[in-house]
Amino acid sequence: MIAIDLEEERKEIVRRYRRLLRKSKPFLKSGDAKIIKKAFHLAADAHKDVRRKSGEPYIYHPLEVAQICVEEIGLGTTSIVSALLHDVVEDTECTIEEIEQEFGHKVATIIDGLTKIAGTFEYGSSQQAENFRKMLLTISQDLRVILIKLADRLHNMRTLDSMPRNKQLKIASETIYIYAPLAHRLGLYTIKSELEDLYLRYSERDAFKEISNKISETSASRTKFINKFIKPIKDELTKQGFKFSIKGRPKSIHSIWNKMRAQDVPFEEVYDLFAIRIILETTTEREKSDCWQIYSIVTDFYQPNPDRLRDWISTSKSNGYESLHTTVMSRSGQWVEVQIRSKRMDDIAEKGYAAHWKYKESGKSEESALEQWIGKVRDMLGQIDCTALEFVDEFRSNLFHTEVFVFTPKGDLRILPHDASALDFAFDIHSEIGVKCIGAKVNQKIVPINYKLNNGDQVEILTSNKQKANEDWLRFVVTSKAKSRIKDELKSDKKHIAEEGKETLLRKMKNLKIESNNETYERMRRFLRVDTQFDLYYKIGIQGITNQILRDFKEEKSTRLSKRGKMLGALDAKTFEKKLKKAKGDGNDMLLIGEDMDIVDYALSVCCNPIPGDDVFGFVTVSEGIKVHRTSCPNATELMSNHGHRMIKAKWTSQQELSFATGLKITGTDRVGLINDVTGIISRELKVNMRSLAIDTDHGIFEGTIKLYVNDTRHLDKLITKLEGVDGVEKVNRFD
């Protein structure tokens, strides 16, 4: 057992507190230091006997969160106090009312927004989604709730090593699912990049290690390359009297990993591993022309790629990001991205919303793209009437969209999500115009309402008082405003039909002695394959439901419950783990795939086809037992983010020699006898059983997909290595 030096810990707490005050000093007003001291003492006292999983005193966490708020986001006194107290109400006896009495209404509102919802949740709902919804709704009141939550999440991710593996996966998945996109949308690029890299570190450990090692290995040569690349630019800028700084860096690990996957290339072949940033000290009036002048200097020395020019100075991104990007060819034949921006633009790019407000106060008065986006989100939050899961899904769709820039007939700029239709544009102008829209004139040509808008389109909406919204519209609109208004128009008719459907269902269930509760409706929703309970009632209202269907449902339900010792009465991982321990004895709360077949009803998920050696987890489903997924499964992030309480640790045992289905994609140059060589290695040399083989050739290039059965990842890796050695084969990749 490690001895704890309490006196040294006390000194470290004081050191961290003083460091926080030092960083806060430049913007503290009279009396602020006293309020921060008061909050620190309350937090220190509330958490005094509590330790984190790492063994450190809990007070380190709120101190570090407050430090991130000051140093990395640029928030002020109210946020520091809220960050220091953010876990006090949730984890101790202290109440929101007491916080309000001591620190005022603003701090109490922020802490209430940061406090998780207590209690149990209905079957089929998600506690995590409910907590996300509670936090996100605070955009309407105080955006600082989300900024502090991002600081809290960043510190938790930085200290994730001490958590068990299943908790690491759950927290990392939540991070990539909602917190990293939120940081991106609020312009916090540095925090967004770090959250993405930390996600990769815990979810794709091998890929993270491989890329970070390669970045380290190439550090010396990269520094030499960057110095050589920037020298002529530096000399010319100095000669012309510019005040500037130049930074060179590799892209983030997550960004490189994304490019490797998207382009299906190794690290060495990623298009532009480097980014050079030129930051200019200039006045607000001159910054645009100065940035273009520097662009001209850069392209005097290096040939630009005309398809890779990005001008976010003339029109900023919707999160407030302003910069001029170009990709140029270096003299050694490597592509390099060059970012050109002013000091003001760089501050906003690094610290997002907080920096935006700092500059707003010092002069720039027009409404920014970031403020417009927040305004749209506030409207959306007021309109959405749905479950917490639907709410989070809808909100996320607003985080990921790239933009399309279009104009009204009078020349006003409108920024809409990529893939937005003419109908989205109509709803963006006004809800009533959207409802009456029958078509549009785009660049003077008449187009249908589902026409997808392109950058630079000038759009005029055509309307008719006879037009009515219909369900088909929901297939091609992408904005929340359009979706929610169309649903409102349709809902009044659908509501009446759904109510009739519910009455029909209740009556028939009573006759057949089927229990009517939320759990039953959730099972029936899945059984009839509809998305929501409302859709279930609506479907029954339109189509009716026969007694035979209800009998089939009842029989399926009882079969599921009785199968394999009723192990799946458990709906969350904790209850399930208790049952597993009872069945197997203490000391093992993990699903051992290959051993527990006789005790637990589980199946390998078809969405990712895990094989022995893959990093996996178990997921307790509503009606299909436990599904085993790879941690890299396309659905894993959403499952762990919204239903982490139904996740269970799982690992393979090597006791049974079983075969598992997987797929390989092979590309290369075609030649006579190639297919024979490939199939020879698979079936004769490595004795692998093939399920199917499809080869397509086009002008000497071939692409093949093979579905086969392997024993484990080592078996698969050996097969891939052998196939890569075949003459003409360029790449072999596993696919799901």
Query: Is 378 inside a domain boundary?
Result: no
87 belongs to the catalytic site: no
Q: Report if residue 589 sits inside a domain.
A: yes
**For the domain that residue 694 is a member of, what is the CATH number?**
3.30.70.260
Domain CATH for 438: 3.10.20.30
260: CATH: 3.30.460.10
Same domain, 575 and 536: no
User: What is the span of the domain harbouring residue 431?
Assistant: 402-477
Q: Which of 90, 385, 552, 555 is catalytic?
A: 90
Tally of domains within the chain = 6
For residue 421, the model assigns a pLDDT of 93
Same-domain status, 148 and 178: yes
Q: Residue type at 44?
A: A
- Domain end, chosen from 147, 175, 209, is at 209
Instruction: Report the pLDDT value the prediction gives residue 536, as an integer from 0 to 100.
Output: 85
Choose among 186, 127, 138, 179: nearest CA to 155.
Answer: 179
Q: Which residues pair with 439 in a beta bridge?
A: 462
Bridge partners of 445?
442
**β-sheet bridge partners, residue 304:** 328
Provide the b/e sequence for 467-504 (b: ≥16 CB within 10 Å). Answer: eebeeebeebbbbbbbbbbbbebbeeebeeebeebbee
Q: From start to end of 621-688, where are the E strands?
A: 626-630, 647-652, 660-669
Task: Specify whether 244 is located in the same domain as 165.
Answer: no
One domain for residues 459 and 604: no
In three-state form (DSSP H/G/I as H, E/B as E, the rest C), the secondary structure along 82-125 is HHHCCCHHHHCCCCHHHHHHHHCHHHHHHHHHHCCCCCCCCCCC
- Residue 385: inside a domain: no
Tokens 């199939």 — which residue? 679
Q: Which of 545, 574, 594 is the last residue of a domain?
A: 545
Catalytic residue list contains 142 = no
- Buried-exposed string 138-158: b where 16+ CB fall within 10 A, e elsewhere: bbeebbbbbbbbbbbbbbbbe
- Residue closest to 365 by CA, chosen among 445, 440, 304, 284: 284
Rounded CA-CA distance 345/523 in Å is 52
Q: Would you say the C-alpha torsion 298, 299, 303, 304 has a positive or negative sign?
A: positive
Residue 576 resides in a domain: yes
196, 223: one domain = no
Any idea how long the chain is?
A: 736
Residue-by-residue DSSP string for 691-728: EEEEEEEETTEEEEEEEEEESSHHHHHHHHHHHHTSTT
Task: Evaluate whether residue 393 is within a structural domain.
Answer: no
Q: 48 and 15 in one domain?
A: yes
Kindly report the pTM of this predicted structure.
0.70
Please check whether residue 380 lies inside any domain of the structure.
Answer: no
d(CA 35, CA 46): 17
Both 189 and 225 in one domain: the answer is no
Whether 200 and 112 share a structural domain: yes
Closest among 146, 171, 176 to 161, alpha carbons compared: 171
> What average pLDDT values come out for the chain (736 residues) when binned by 10 residues?
71 91 86 90 87 87 93 88 89 85 89 68 55 69 83 92 86 86 83 92 90 86 88 93 88 87 79 84 90 94 89 81 90 89 86 62 54 65 60 64 80 83 92 91 90 89 89 87 83 78 86 80 79 82 82 68 43 58 51 57 80 82 78 83 78 63 86 81 74 80 84 82 85 82
User: What does the DSSP 8-state code read for residue 652?
Assistant: E
The pLDDT value given to residue 165: 83
What span, in angstroms and rounded, lies between the C-alpha atoms of 348 and 600?
53
End-to-end CA distance of the chain: 45
Residue 419 is given by DSSP the state T
- Residue 323: DSSP 8-state: -
What local confidence, expressed as pLDDT, does residue 49 receive? 81
Q: Tell me whether residue 482 is in a domain.
A: no
38, 182: one domain: yes
Q: What is d(CA 113, CA 381) in angstroms, rounded to the nearest whole number?
A: 15
Q: What local confidence, expressed as pLDDT, does residue 384 receive?
A: 54
Residues 573 and 683 in one domain: no
Which amino acid, one-letter code, is at 519?
E
The continuous run of DSSP H or E covering 437 comes out as strand 437-442
Rounded distance between C-alpha atoms, residue 515 and residue 704, angstroms: 52
Of 91, 217, 503, 696, the active-site residue reads 91
Q: What is the 3-state secondary structure (H, E, C) of 355-405?
A: HHHHHHHCCCCCCCHHHHHHHHHHHHHHHCCCCHHHHHHHHHHHHHCCEEE
Within a domain: 89? yes
Q: Which of 294, 287, 301 is nearest to 336 (CA)?
A: 301
Same domain, 471 and 503: no
Task: Check: CB of residue 473 under 8 Å from CB of residue 463.
Answer: no
Q: 480-511 and 533-543 helices cross at what angle (nearest 10)?
A: 70
Of 652, 679, 700, which residue sits at a domain end? 652
Indicate whether 647 and 666 sit together in one domain: no
681 near 719, Cβ under 8 Å? Answer: yes
